[in-house]
Chains A and B, each alone.
Chain A
Amino acid sequence: MSALLEVSGITKSFDGFKAINNLSFSIDAVELRAVIGPNGAGKTTFMDIVTGKTRPDAGEVLWGEGSRSLLKMNEAQIARAGIGRKFQRPTVFEDQTVAENLTMALRADRSPFAVLRWRPSRGSQARVEDLASEVGLAAQLARKAGELSHGQKQWLEIGMLLAQEPRLLLVDEPAAGMTLAEREQTTTLLCRLAETRAVVVVEHDMDFVRRLNCKVTVLHQGAVLAEGSLDHVTRNPDVIDVYLGR
């Protein structure tokens, strides 16, 4: 089975500082992967490059069966190709209702005129209600997103990601600011999602990563330091040196 996302040899520097240095990475179509690393290891820049927010100075990012280069596409095109991104800080549209937020994220033609012609159907409404109940917001559909609590906003954003039906999900520090129970819930959800698609979780909370029980990629100074199971990488002396040892 070929890789869904194939990142090879990318480099990106900001004013001489190499945030990403000859980094290669690949993930299969159905896989859960955790990316860990200390602050400044290049985790966020890596996600920025994959989602089109930042252009690398060198390297190649290939996507899907046809191995299309993502570097020629803008953020919206990449998102439409099937890459969803969950930000660290919950970003939902606070001035709009939960239903509106979810409706916007529903998989549909995104061009302006198609959106103009789009009318809610029985199917779309049912889908919005399903998603809302999946993330525990069924009772909040008519409320404005700005009125939700922080945790509810996190869940709304996850709901929106689900509505997008991405083939690859990039999740940035999902556990940050969550209670223990919420972490449980998030872990379960991520594992379930990874049964049908590729999920990349960027995290530096080791307990959380351990609970995901998946292959781990350790980044350091913009390059891959080690890759394998969590036990495998935690035994790696380099990793202990730069990360775990501190």
Chain B
Amino acid sequence: MTRKPFILQNPSVLIVLAVLAVFTAAVTAGSAAYGSGVIPTSMVKVLGKTLCLALAAVAMDLVWGYLGILSLGQMAFFALGGYMIGQWLMYARTETIVAASLAQNPIPATPQELQDAVTNQIFGVVGSADLPLVWSFAHSLTLQMILILLVPGLLALVFGWLAFRSRVNGVYLSILTQAMTLALALWLFQNDSGFRGNNGLSGLQNIPGLDHVSQATLSVWFLWASAAALALFYVLAAWLVSGKFGSVVRAIRDDETRVRFLGYPVEGFKLVVFTLAAMITAIAGALYYPQAGIINPAELMPIASIYLAVWVAIGGRGRLYGAAIGAVVVSLLSSWFTGGRAPSINLPGYVVNWVDWWQVALGLTFVLVTLFAPKGIAGIFDWLGGVLPPRRQGRDLGPNDGAFQEAEAKA
């Protein structure tokens, strides 16, 4: 067994990076700011956001496809990342605007007056006069950037520690993660949570200090940043799951008990992957919401996280590129079909309007994929690459791919 460099061991990583680079270059060339303008700015934003979703899907695949935890709360971390960056975006921008308007006064404003005015501007809508404690760091980009990693990371660490320690797993754990995101969403929905209740944070597309840069240019910059983050974390994730660490993680997915008897601290491994995935998701969220412009607690409702699982499942879990492809394909298709641009189908006696029927089609497709194509879209690549599955006999016995099969157990 000779030792090859990591990239050569994983040719799929190179292909993904190349595709990503070509895609980014093509969009840049088509953008209004740096190219022909074939692609409108709104479309550039959609594509940039899609890359962020793909990154979230890659993190989801780490947790689900490799570690075997079907987390139905991943989007909580995504939205938390968005909230953390949103705090700075909103505070800094409001401060600029308020400072400009206070400068009209004959008497210059005191720092206290400035802060009161900013607070009033941001929180007047929820009837609060004091700056909530959670906004203590909102004035500093650096601190909020640290919080993007720290807050979701700590949440994942504490939640994971509690859940893994008591050996909650399988369906129970899925339900608990769902409860976690629901609890967080409900908390954020309150006006006195300090995050503007159901108004959420808005105006995030305006970057303080970059007022002179047009949205067209900004959208391309964010596309670059999203592509870079996706590339970076894709490589990190691929590295993580390639070596002995990946081996142990997949072993935990397939037979947790056996891994314990090998002497591995299973909970520790779960915590590391779960927390890391949460932080990656948070970064994806922090890049997503400045492109979306607005964030509110509805983004944390359990349904969003379940959709993430749907993307990963359709794309093909247990394969990082599958997750990314699933997120890109399904989210773009969803926005195309629900955006009302898809042509209706005229059946005799009924017109199938995609705005109404897309969800039905998606739901059924999803059932079909689960039933007949558990490998998802990535299964096509396996087939093309001639990668044959191991010779299996009989039906699955365990919950996951790779667990025992009936005939083997009997043999």
Direct contact of A and B (CB under 8 A): yes
A146 touches B402 (CB 8 A): yes
Chain B residue with the shortest CB-CB distance to A166: B263
Could you tell me the distance between the alpha carbons of A85 and B263 in the complex, rounded to whole angstroms? 11
Question: Which residues on A sit within 8 Å (CB–CB) of B264?
Answer: 76, 104, 110, 115
Could you tell me the distance between the alpha carbons of A105 and B251 in the complex, rounded to whole angstroms? 11
Could you tell me the distance between the alpha carbons of A173 and B391 in the complex, rounded to whole angstroms? 27
The verdict on A57 contacting chain B, using a C-beta distance below 8 Å, is no
Cross-chain contact of A104 among B1, B3, B262, B402 (Cβ < 8 A): B262
Please count the residue pairs between chain A and chain B whose beta carbons lie under 8 angstroms apart in the complex. 105
Take A74-B260, A146-B392 as given contacts and tell me if A104 and B254 are in contact as well, using a CB distance cutoff of 8 Å. Answer: no
Chain A residue with the shortest CB-CB distance to B271: A112
The verdict on A99 contacting chain B, using a C-beta distance below 8 Å, is yes
Q: Scan B1-13; emit 1 where CB is below 8 A from any A CB, else 0.
A: 1010000000000
Sorting the interface of chain A by its residue count into under 10, 10 to 19, 20 to 34 or 35 or more gives 35 or more
The verdict on B35 contacting chain A, using a C-beta distance below 8 Å, is no
Take A112-B245, A115-B244, A147-B391 as given contacts and tell me if A76 and B265 are in contact as well, using a CB distance cutoff of 8 Å. Answer: yes
Could you tell me the distance between the alpha carbons of A119 and B272 in the complex, rounded to whole angstroms? 19
Chain B residue with the shortest CB-CB distance to A115: B245
A105 touches B262 (CB 8 A): yes
Take A89-B409, A150-B411 as given contacts and tell me if A110 and B263 are in contact as well, using a CB distance cutoff of 8 Å. Answer: yes
Instruction: Count residues of B near A (Cβ-Cβ below 8 Å).
Output: 36
A94 touches B262 (CB 8 A): no
Q: Scan A55-84; emit 1 where CB is below 8 A from any B CB, else 0.
A: 000000000000000000011110110001
Cross-chain contact of A112 among B250, B272, B390, B404 (Cβ < 8 A): B272
B260 touches A96 (CB 8 A): no
Question: Which residues on B sit within 8 Å (CB–CB) of A95?
Answer: 250, 254, 390, 401-402
The verdict on A103 contacting chain B, using a C-beta distance below 8 Å, is yes
B251 touches A93 (CB 8 A): yes
Closest-CB distance, A73 to chain B (whole angstroms): 11
B244 touches A75 (CB 8 A): no
In the complex, besides A93-B402, A118-B245, 8 extra interface pairs with C-beta distance below 8 angstroms are A51-B261, A75-B261, A91-B258, A95-B390, A95-B401, A104-B251, A112-B269, A116-B243
In the complex, 6 of the A-B residue pairs with CB atoms within 8 angstroms, ordered by the A residue number, are A100-B247, A104-B248, A116-B245, A120-B1, A120-B244, A149-B411
Residue numbers of A with Cβ under 8 A of B are: 51, 53, 74-77, 79-80, 84-85, 87, 89, 91, 93-96, 99-100, 103-105, 110-113, 115-116, 118-120, 125, 141, 144, 146-147, 149-150, 160, 164, 177
